[in-house]
Structure 1
Amino acid sequence: MPTPTDRSLSLLVAAVLLHDRATDRVLLLQRGPRAKFAQGRWDLPVGKCEPGEAVTDAAVRELLEETGVRVDPADLRLAHVVHGARGVEAPGGYLTVVFAADRWTGEPHNAEPQKHARVAWVPLDAVPADAVAPTAEAVAGYRAGRQEVLLTGW
């Protein structure tokens, strides 16, 4: 039976691309100096699925935990899938399901200042150059109306 340290295990991750259609902006987080990876870089609200947790529930939970914004799982639409060969906490690889949503409740704020430097609305066509690579690609694909699978490190 595999153990949590087994290199063959993959990590399931959920991310939310929150789109404010009225201003054509997307909500991004800037990772803080104590982040586990990509310190100082911009990313979507994202996090690991807990054991037994549906990926949509993880997306909703992580968005709320990180930004204080609540999205109904029924309002999530598949935007992008990232399949990485390896990651910081996933030597056996990871699968990130990126959902898009344009309906929410709550005012975005940095709900996890120990992890993130800030939360900001960014124009959909101006994702910072120092964003985590899958973030820029997911937003660009979303803007173009494409649902894609991105393979990284294979």
Structure 2
Amino acid sequence: MPGERFRIAAAVYGILRADGRLLLLRRAGTTFRHGQLSLPAGHLDGGEDALSGLVRELREELGIEADPGGCRLALLLHTAPEDADDQEYFHLFFTVDRWTGDPVINEPGKCSELRWADPTDLPPDVVDYVAEALAAITRGETLALRGWVTGP
């Protein structure tokens, strides 16, 4: 609609590390990236700030309580729509340095496996844009773009 302010979808991702490894989960029971490995993540709810959404998602998916003071924004990934039914996204990747509890599969209908992986040698079935985001973070980038056509 002309004059309507643009809106963007936002998702948050938690990067949990222990003993030099990175926690991944295998998506299940969904049509989006079913069977692939990803980070614990989810969409923001309306009226919810990014940090609160991250803490909520980690509680829902892994049964842990993340300390908001131990969560730091590592990367903003801005993606173009992948197809006509998709929309633009802001993907907010946070490092999570402090949490209580042991990560478990807390939503078995959405996750079939938890795996601690070497961040320098990710499994080949990690969601492509998640792998790109992790590589950008390793390079020290704080903003990454994906799927945009630039230039004339």
Name which of 27, 37, 58 aligns with 1:31.
Answer: 27
TM-score by length of 1: 0.84
Q: Distance in 2 between matches of 1:120 and 1:27?
A: 6
Instruction: Say how many residue pairs are matched.
Output: 145
Which runs of at least 4 in structure 1 moved beyond 6 Å after TM superposition?
none
Task: Indicate conservation of the 8 Å contact 2:44/2:53, yes or no.
Answer: yes
- For structure 1, the 5+ residue unaligned runs are none
Task: Indicate conservation of the 8 Å contact 2:26/2:36, yes or no.
Answer: yes
TM-score by length of 2: 0.85
- For structure 2, the 5+ residue unaligned runs are none
Task: Indicate conservation of the 8 Å contact 1:79/1:98, yes or no.
Answer: yes
1:77 aligns with 2:75: no
Per-residue CA distance 1:20-70 (angstroms, 9 max, x = gap): 1xx1011111111x2131111110111001101000111111111111121
Letter in 2 for 1:153: G
- Root-mean-square deviation (CA, aligned residues, Å) is 2.1
Task: Indicate conservation of the 8 Å contact 1:80/1:147, yes or no.
Answer: yes
Aligned match of 2:61: 66
Q: Distance in 2 between matches of 1:25 and 1:125?
A: 9
Q: Distance in 1 between matches of 2:123 and 2:111?
A: 16
1:48 aligns with 2:48: no
- Secondary structure of the 2:76 match is strand
Question: How far apart are residue 87 of structure 1 and its match?
Answer: 5.3
